[in-house]
Amino acid sequence: MTQNQGTDPEAATRTDAAAFDDMLAELAERRQEFRELRYVPKDFVARLKRLGLYRASTPARFGGEPMPPADFLRQIERISAVDGSTGWVASFGSQLVYLGPLPLETQAELYADGPDVVFAGGLFPVQEAVPTERGFRVSGRWKFASGCMAADIICVGIPGDDSTAGKPRGVLVRPELLEIVRDWEVIGMRATGSFDLVAKDVEVGREWSFIRGGTPAIDEPLYRYPAITYAAQSLSVVSAGVARAALDFAEQTGSGRASITGAPKLADRPYYRAGIAEAEAALRSSRAYFYEAADEAWQAVVAGGQVSDEQNAHLRLSAAYLARTAAEVVTKVISLSGTAAIYSDHPLQSLLGDALVPQEHAFLSPAMYDAAGAVLMGRPPTVPAFR
């Protein structure tokens, strides 16, 4: 949040909104640069820091400004409507809640230089770790470390033991102790910098390890919101922003291009108007369910309670459904857009690539439908780490 606004909260809000809009304008100018780099550079991540996105899940006791999940998710959606990759990287501002199980002394050290901490991780495949007197000696290669090029701290995954009830551990490593292998050659989410991480005999103190999905040491409302579920929501909402961009493009350009065959403009064709309207309804409906579930769960938390299993099932289901619906919306827009959209430099092609990625994430896979259905019918979830 922008500081030094005196005692006028409305002035601070206006200033913050203007700063956010300025960031989006710069992003629109630089998104192609980021795609060519294949990552979002540190200078732009620093700008996201100044907007408060990387203190939005830092505990208040360590100077954070925890943001209600729906508020944070709406900001990520707006960024993603300009560039999905940057939205994906910014979404990790929610994931410091993962680190809630760390000892309080470790968290105090983590935030000693301030609450704006950029977290990235390559948790899988889980790699073996050798126990040492201090903690663990880790070696191996982990994939999909989105945002690692600008990270302040990086998590890698190691096996659990008898003390973790079968859950894997994460260990936190300073970026300079890892090799980043830039092997991210993809069609969608190209600028996320989801590179591989390599460690060679890196020793990590036990106090810098935590149980993935373990009980937080922090007792604050955001840390009672299910951490893995919040991560799933943060990735899913990126697809909503991408789909919004596709629909805006379709609605703005539909009336402006005549067919080379002499056929009517797209907006003059009934099938185009009806198809875009149907896609609009689908996206807005899935978003409404997504944010309704988020608001309901958050209200349970701020009232002093916990997110129920049924509420968590709706959070997971709505996140998976939004990601799938958004991908279908962008696909539908392209199918309605004629031959112009088949060219590789057409704006809809990059949006299609970005839209297809979130639904492929393990947190948003079709298995979530079965797991959510099981919980809603009073049965255990059918996938691990469901909350």
Complete DSSP assignment for 287-331: HHHHHHHHHHHHHHHHTT----HHHHHHHHHHHHHHHHHHHHHHH
Give per-residue pLDDT as tens, 24-65: 999 999 999 999 999 999 999 999 999 999 999 999 999 999
The two three-digit tokens of residue 52, written as one number? 């408060």
Sorting pLDDT into bands at 50, 70 and 90, what band is 164?
confident
Residues of the chain above pLDDT 70, percent: 94
Sorting pLDDT into bands at 50, 70 and 90, what band is 261?
low
Distance CA 326, CA 300 (A): 28
Does the N-terminal peptide bond of residue 125 adopt cis geometry, omega within 30 degrees of 0?
Answer: yes
Q: What is the pLDDT of residue 2?
A: 47
Distance CA 150, CA 172 (A): 15
CA-nearest of 253, 255, 256, 257 to 267 is 255
Give per-residue pLDDT as tens, 90-103: 999 999 999 999 99
**Domains observed in the chain:** 9-99 (1.10.540.10), 119-211 (2.40.110.10), 225-376 (1.20.140.10)
Q: What is the pLDDT of residue 240?
A: 98
Q: What share of the chain is helix, strand, coil (3-state, %, to 5)?
A: 55, 10, 30
Distance CA 213, CA 169 (A): 9
Q: What is the pTM of this model?
A: 0.94
